[in-house]
């Protein structure tokens, strides 16, 4: 609400352009823009064998691009006196069967994806503010990247699903996963989750504090 239409257009285009570049660079297909949201998918129309990894890799790169964009906005605001803008974004990733093809009406159709898998991806993205994370990954996508630096967040029952699903977040790629620092973090984080689920609150709080350090 603090931006006029011209400023808003500049900000949104400045955001969508580098994010789209990242998706395309990692073999993704942009489905559509919904306001300031991008819907994208992998493994259609062309088969992408490592589509789960490519999606996570794109999300990690989008995080880096957004940091660079916010730094640029900050510099521009100092130089020009324009309103300072800082963008936060949440990403939801999910994998599974869905229907992909030309869909719509007799008057207009788009090449898009529909199905429960797509709905869950949207639900996961909506969870990002609650966990204060910019990336929420479904278990099937996480399973496709066992060599990435991923951490389990929780088990959740998303809207429209009867069975809880495990959700994860991404810290980094294969290089990050190979570091001693990440292995130590993951070990403590896993102990924290186990203590939490065992209702050992003191041990969970202690492990959480170690994770923060």
| pLDDT tens readout for residues 42-74 | 999 999 999 999 999 999 999 999 999 999 999
Give the CB-side neighbour count of residue 133, counting CA atoms within 13 A. 24
The arithmetic mean of pLDDT across residues 87-99, rounded, is 96
159 has pLDDT over 80: no
160 has pLDDT over 80: no
The Cα–Cα gap between 141 and 152 comes to 12
Q: In terms of C-beta distances under 8 Å and separation of at least 24 residues, what long-range contacts does 113-122 make, across chains too?
A: 113/31, 113/41, 113/44, 116/160, 118/41, 118/94, 119/160, 120/94, 120/96, 120/158, 120/161, 120/165, 121/92, 121/93, 121/94, 122/92
The Cα–Cα gap between 152 and 139 comes to 9
The arithmetic mean of pLDDT across residues 4-14, rounded, is 92
Tokens of 196: 């939490």
- Taking the whole predicted model, whether its pTM rises above 0.85 is answered as yes
| pLDDT tens sequence across 162-198 | 889 999 999 999 999 999 999 999 999 999 999 999 9
Non-local (6+) Cβ contacts of 162 within 8 A are: none
Non-local (6+) Cβ contacts of 84 within 8 A are: 73, 74, 77
């Amino acid at each position: 609400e603090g931006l006029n239409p011209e400023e808003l257009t500049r900000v949104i285009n400045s955001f969508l352009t580098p994010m789209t570049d990242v998706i395309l660079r990692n073999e993704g297909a942009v489905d559509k823009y919904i306001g300031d949201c991008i819907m994208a998918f992998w493994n259609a129309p062309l088969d992408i064998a490592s589509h789960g990894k490519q999606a996570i890799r794109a999300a990690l790169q989008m995080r880096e691009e957004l940091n660079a964009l916010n730094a640029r906005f900050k510099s521009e605001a100092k130089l020009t006196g324009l309103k300072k803008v800082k963008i936060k974004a949440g990403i939801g990733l999910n994998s599974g069967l869905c229907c992909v093809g030309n869909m719509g009406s007799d008057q207009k159709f788009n090449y898009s994806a529909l199905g429960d898998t797509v709905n869950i991806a949207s639900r996961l993205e909506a969870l990002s503010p609650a966990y204060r994370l910019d990336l929420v990954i479904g278990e099937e996508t996480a399973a496709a990247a066992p060599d990435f630096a991923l951490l389990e967040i929780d088990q959740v029952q998303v809207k429209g699903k009867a069975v809880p699903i495990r959700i994860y977040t991404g810290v980094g790629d294969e290089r990050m996963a190979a570091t001693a620092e990440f292995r130590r973090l993951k070990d403590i984080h896993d102990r924290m989750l186990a203590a939490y689920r065992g209702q050992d609150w003191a041990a969970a709080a202690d492990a959480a504090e170690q994770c923060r350090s």
